Amino acid sequence: MKKILFILIFFYAHSFADQLPDLGSTSDNIINKVHEKKIRYQILSQAYSSKLVARDPELIFYINNLGARLLKGVPELNTKNTTFFTIKDPTINAFAMLGGIIGLHTGLLYAANSESELASVLAHEIAHLSQKHLPRIIEAQSKDKFKTSIAMVFALLLTRSNAQIANAAMQSATASAVQNTLDFTREHEKEADREGLVILNKAGFDERGAVNFFKTLDKANQFSVGAAPYFLRTHPVTLDRISDIEDRLKDFPYRQVSDNPNFKFVKAKMKAFSGEPSDMINIFTENISNKSYGNESAENFALSYAYLRNNQIKKAREILNNIIHLKKISPMIVELEANILKEDGKFIAAQMLYEKALFKNPNYNAYIYGLSEIYIHMNKFEKAVNLIEKALVVYPSDFNLYKLLAEVYSKQKKASYLEYKNLGEYFYFSFDLKESVNQMSLAINASDANFYDKSKAEQRMKEIKAEIAMYESIK
């Protein structure tokens, strides 16, 4: 059975590798940007179609903002060419990949004791990208071998919720060899550690978060063998690395840095959704009773969400009341309150809450999504369209907004052109270009499309087809 499972995952990896472009001459020392763009497209299309990639808007908003803060100190990278995403996996792991992609596991979020610790890991991965460590690895090995390696590891990243598959792959000599091709050298790790500290410093975080978190990783590897399987551990922590970081910290003056209040609530929310609602209720209730928690407010926040997931609306409200006073410091408390109101059928109250919250925090994605959904539910379509279109000015590549906009027009049952056009944009920005073309074609042929509409959709479809052709031409 294990052999069969490994063959399946290995076949998937090779199929993915076949889609990756020829990386060009390694003598250039730098991968062609067009090649890297295709790799980025292939990886993200797999990621965004995977159920293992976290889609919680508040988590995405938090991680993206944290990443943007760190990227301000890295002129060669920016939010346009760097993408962060989170895999729903309890193990402690993070990774950087070609195409400016940085992934982390929810387990990494759980293990971080402070925001500076979490930031230190992201800064380390950013440093791998800024120092072009992956292209430098390609220099040292055959291109085909590397393509297979990156494909397999990514495939494993997106399937490792299945322990059988992970174990089967782990026990394979081939998988072990594959991992070795992607492991960063000691020199790469030290360079990323050094540059990561600089990035942390520029972003205003506590540089000591780096060594604190590496000690956490070291302890996890010592006492929990299954926490981070070797073939996914591309950044082995050693005493030498920790000592080197501690020596470098002498160059940075001590400073105390307060966490973003959302840090603890994001962690708590992800934990609340990590298991069966009844199980999570028992865990959080026991933790609160025994005072076994990092933060009491966050633990109550998680318990309230667990009750909400279990359709115990009254209990969710009761627990929320313990932390309702924190609404002024964290938008996540407001979002929880709005979700409770919606589940209780109090849509007008939820609408008023969202509208008031958006006035104070107009660019908070979760509020925009939540209020849009309420407007759609209450058939307030014009309000929904105005809200979403305003948000698209700020977030023009947010595919969820296009999906919501398509839903508005679908509910109206009279504007098929706009429905298909926005679905086309949804699929485009979620890296499904072929389906994007299909939707644009439907928009062009929609009965309510006028000459101007058809021309606009035809031009957009032409652009998308050209992008597909460009990717397919890269061998």
Token output for 108: 């990494």
Distance set, CA 80 to CA 68, 238, 280, 402, 462 (Å): 10, 34, 37, 19, 23
Q: Report yes or no on 58 lying in a domain.
A: yes
| Alpha helices in 183-293, H assignment, sequence order | 186-203, 208-223, 239-248, 261-272, 277-289
| Strand bridging mode 101-105 / 94-97 | antiparallel
> For the whole model, what pTM was predicted?
0.87
Confidence of residue 186 (pLDDT cuts 50, 70, 90): confident
Give mean pLDDT, residues 20-40. Answer: 64
Q: Residue 466 corresponds to which amino acid?
A: A
- Of 73-77, 130-134, 231-235, 450-454, give the lowest mean pLDDT range: 231-235
What is the pLDDT, as a whole number, of residue 135? 76
Confidence of residue 93 (pLDDT cuts 50, 70, 90): confident
Question: Is residue 52's pLDDT more than 50?
Answer: yes
385: closest CA among 397, 402, 400?
402
What is the pLDDT, as a whole number, of residue 2? 45
One domain for residues 153 and 272: no
Q: Residue 362 corresponds to which amino acid?
A: P
Q: Report yes or no on 135 lying in a domain.
A: yes
Separation of CA 166 from chain center: 21
The set of residues, in sequence order, having a beta carbon less than 8 Å from that of 424 and lying 6+ positions away, is: 436, 437, 439, 440, 443, 457, 460, 461, 464
The Cα–Cα gap between 415 and 394 comes to 25
45: closest CA among 428, 470, 472, 460?
428
Confidence of residue 414 (pLDDT cuts 50, 70, 90): confident
Give the residue numbers spanning the domain of 278. Answer: 261-330
- Of 128-142, 168-182, 190-204, 269-283, give the lowest mean pLDDT range: 168-182
Tokens 């944009």 — which residue?
A: 425
One domain for residues 78 and 55: yes
One domain for residues 220 and 312: no
The Cα–Cα gap between 353 and 13 comes to 47
Tokens 């220099």 — which residue?
A: 139
One domain for residues 205 and 303: no
Q: Report yes or no on 138 lying in a domain.
A: yes
The set of residues, in sequence order, having a beta carbon less than 8 Å from that of 421 and lying 6+ positions away, is: 439, 440, 443, 453, 456, 457, 460
Confidence of residue 229 (pLDDT cuts 50, 70, 90): very low
Higher-confidence residue of 275 and 168: namely 275
- Of 65-69, 177-181, 402-406, give the lowest mean pLDDT range: 177-181
One domain for residues 86 and 140: yes
Domains: count for the chain: 2
* Domain edge (last residue) among 251, 278, 306: 251
Phi/psi class of residue 116: alpha, beta or left (left: φ > 0; alpha: ψ in -120 to 50)? alpha
Q: Report yes or no on 420 lying in a domain.
A: no
Phi, psi of 361 (to 5 degrees): -135, 75
Q: Please, are residues 457 and 443 in contact by the beta-carbon 8 Å criterion?
A: yes
One domain for residues 243 and 272: no
Q: Report yes or no on 91 lying in a domain.
A: yes
Tokens 């551990």 — which residue?
A: 233
One domain for residues 301 and 174: no
Token output for 32: 């062609």
Q: Report yes or no on 341 lying in a domain.
A: no
371: closest CA among 398, 401, 394, 396?
401
One domain for residues 246 and 268: no
Q: Report yes or no on 48 lying in a domain.
A: yes
What is the pLDDT, as a whole number, of residue 11? 44
Give mean pLDDT, residues 184-198. Answer: 84
* Domain edge (last residue) among 278, 309, 330: 330
Q: How far apart are the first and last CA of the chain?
A: 35
Question: Is residue 148's pLDDT more than 90?
Answer: no
The set of residues, in sequence order, having a beta carbon less than 8 Å from that of 122 and lying 6+ positions away, is: 66, 67, 70, 84, 94, 102, 104
Environment class of 151 (CB within 10 Å of its CB; exposed 0-12, middle 13-18, buried 19+) = buried
Confidence of residue 232 (pLDDT cuts 50, 70, 90): very low
One domain for residues 153 and 176: yes
Question: Is residue 10's pLDDT more than 50?
Answer: no
One domain for residues 172 and 227: yes
Q: Which residues pair with 85 in a beta bridge?
A: 103
Give mean pLDDT, residues 68-87. Answer: 93
pLDDT in tens, 318-374: 999 999 999 999 999 999 999 999 999 999 999 999 999 999 999 999 999 999 999
| Alpha helices in 273-363, H assignment, sequence order | 277-289, 296-309, 313-320, 331-343, 347-360
pLDDT in tens, 416-453: 999 999 999 999 999 999 999 999 999 999 999 999 99
Q: Please, are residues 216 and 117 in contact by the beta-carbon 8 Å criterion?
A: yes
What is the pLDDT, as a whole number, of residue 230? 35
* Domain edge (last residue) among 330, 350, 373: 330
One domain for residues 124 and 60: yes
- Arithmetic mean of pLDDT over the chain: 84
Q: Please, are residues 126 and 197 in contact by the beta-carbon 8 Å criterion?
A: no
One domain for residues 246 and 269: no
Q: Report yes or no on 464 lying in a domain.
A: no
The Cα–Cα gap between 65 and 366 comes to 14
What is the pLDDT, as a whole number, of residue 9? 41
